[in-house]
Amino acid sequence: MSAQDLDAGVPPAIPEPVAESRRLVYRHPLPIRVMHWINVVALTLMLFSGLQIFNAHPSLYWGNRSDAGTELLTLGARQDATGKLVGITRVGRHEFTTTGVLGVSNGSDGSPQVRGFPSWLTVPGPQWLSMGRRWHFFFAWVFVLNGLCYVGYALATRHLQRDLWPTGSDWRGIGRSIIEHLRFKHPHGDEALRYNILQRLAYLVVIFVFGVGIVLMGLAMSPRMDAVLSPMVEAVGGRQSARTIHFIIAWAFVAFVLIHVFEVLISGVFNQLRGMITGYYAIDAAPAGAPPAEAVSPGPVDPAEPAPPSPDDPVEPAPPEERPHD
Ligand code: HEM
């Protein structure tokens, strides 16, 4: 509307009604959210401190022994003809030059140093094994206690059985779900409220295979525990095998997080993060017969900034049957 229209007293145009409506539903209960973010902090610090510990002996082996010449993976260094340090990553019999990142990277003084992973990937930054172990073991306890609380809570509230365990129809729809993921298509409306089969499988594998596996392999490396756990240590082939599996699972966690964060980014980062921070998640279609008070128009809703009443307002928590994670 122009300034002349205003001067002429023409009333403002009434906006077209929004074709699609949005509802905010309470999706993730507080304990799940708190434990999720504790887990993110603990895993991040365990990864970085774990790489610090790895740097004290940047090679992996299989079995019980760590003999020279039997390495599966080595992050090492050599000098070239001019005396310059060159970072070498050796996987089996294949060698790669990885100067600057693996094997040789700049230290805090800016000069090239021989170290497995670079200082920006380790906690603490400089080579300091004992401090790395302190960080790692502290957050290992946080991770284990938090994980036990999560599994206990998820069982007690039936979150695990209801929201994470795949149903028969989930299994039957796995092909469609894979195709939809490959096309980056995401469910809308009420369908977006439940985890699809790929999410369920990913979360179950992360919790019960990666989570349990990394803790058991960590315990298997501990001199005090490997006596108690010796049958398990033998079953995986020895302490060096346990160390290798521990390392592989750590990177499997990283791969999961990259895919997980990518999915969050492409499926509505603001809505997804609000869901995991405040619990409230917007779905983009009101079910038939939903009370009008619950309808809100599309567009981001920021609960931190309450706006005057408008169709964009956040609404009351959805009734219990719409709170699948309670
Ligand atoms: C550090 C490793 C991480 C692990 C192991 C992890 C694991 C999980 C698991 C198991 C769930 C399902 C929770 C449940 O309903 O019980 C979940 C949900 C979620 N995570 Fe993570 N997560 C990690 C990092 C992150 C990060 C960095 C972000 C932020 C970008 C994030 C954002 C979310 C969101 C938004 C959901 C809800 C997804 C939905 O409702 O569809 N996660 N995560």
Per-run averaged pLDDT (10 residues), the chain, 326 residues: 47 49 93 98 98 98 96 97 97 97 92 96 96 98 98 98 97 96 90 94 98 96 85 94 98 98 95 98 67 33 35 41 41
| pLDDT value for 21 | 78
CATH number of the domain that residue 295 is part of? 1.20.950.20
User: How many angstroms is it from 315 CA to the middle of ligand 1?
Assistant: 24
22 backbone dihedrals φ, ψ, rounded to 5°: -130, 145
Protein residue with least CA distance to atom 17, ligand 1: 36
**Do residues 203 and 106 share a domain?**
no
Residue 92 CB neighbour total at 10 angstroms: 9
Which of 160, 164, 212, 264 has most ligand 1 atoms within 8 Å of CB, for mutation? Answer: 264
Our count of domains for the chain comes to 2
Q: Is residue 322 assigned to a domain?
A: no
Q: Is residue 5 assigned to a domain?
A: no
Residue reference for tokens 């049958």: 231
| pLDDT value for 324 | 43
**Do residues 249 and 213 share a domain?**
yes
Cβ(272) to ligand 1 under 6 A? yes
| pLDDT value for 189 | 86
Owning domain of residue 273: 23-56+127-300
**Do residues 52 and 184 share a domain?**
yes
Q: Is residue 12 assigned to a domain?
A: no
Cβ(203) to ligand 1 under 6 A? yes
